[in-house]
Amino acid sequence: MYKNTKLLCLIFLCVFSFTSCTKDSISPENNAELKTANLVDAFAYSQIEIDILTAVNDYRKSKGLTTLKKVDEITLQAESHTVYMVEKNVVNHDNFNVRFKNLVDEIGARAVSENVGFGYRTADAVVAAWIKSEGHLANIEGDFTHFGVSVEQDENDKNYFTNIFVRR
């Protein structure tokens, strides 16, 4: 089953790696007892990151869905990936399985999904693009409980985005 999950992740990566924003999702095979990690809230979020989190929750509320709680551990995983994308100058889901495993181990995640994007200047613009995309919308509307986000700029002031969704 693990090989099938890895193959599924690889297929998603290949299909979506050339788009400006993409999504990938995976659930662990073993839904064992959840970790009881502390969900600290001490990360210094930028204004655009706060605006993305707010826009996603505003959209969820408008659809009658529960709002998501931001978690720094999720944001740290998002930040690591966003920095990686800036360094590689590409938008992708490379090493998603590592982020997934880290979130299972660190906060007891049972499901993890992510949206990535590039080039949007505002939170509203990137969230609107994700809402217009069926796969990204599925993540935004998904059965998740927590989320984190990272926005980093490259040397040309182009924004890279990673928004990770988690169910605990």
CATH number at residue 100: 3.40.33.10
Q: Is the pLDDT of residue 134 over 70?
A: yes
Domains of the chain: total: 1
Pinpoint the alpha helices (H) of 1-71: 2-16, 47-62
Domain of residue 157 covers 47-167
Is residue 93 included in any domain, yes or no?
yes
Per residue in 5-53, pLDDT tens?
443 443 333 333 333 344 444 544 443 344 444 455 678 999 999 999 9
In this predicted structure, what is the pLDDT of residue 132? 99
Decide if 18 is inside a domain: no
Task: Name the pLDDT band for 108 (thresholds 50, 70, 90).
Answer: very high
Q: What pLDDT shows up at residue 41?
A: 62
Residue 53 resides in a domain? yes
Place of tokens 């990686």: 84
Read off the amino acid at residue 25: S
Residue 27 located in a structural domain = no
pLDDT surpassing 50 at residue 4: no
Residue pLDDT, tens place only, 138-161: 999 999 999 999 999 999 999 999
Pairing mode of beta strands 69-70, 146-153: parallel
Residue 28 lies in a domain: no
5 within some domain: no
Instruction: Provide the strand spans (E) within the chain.
Output: 22-26, 69-70, 111-118, 146-153, 159-167
pLDDT for 139 equals 98
Cβ 40 vs Cβ 72: under 8 Å: yes
- Model confidence over 83-101: pLDDT tens digits? 999 999 999 999 999 999 9
Look at residue 105 and tell me if it is in a domain.
yes
- Is 6 among the domain residues? no
| CA–CA distance, 147 with 112 (Å, rounded to integer) | 9
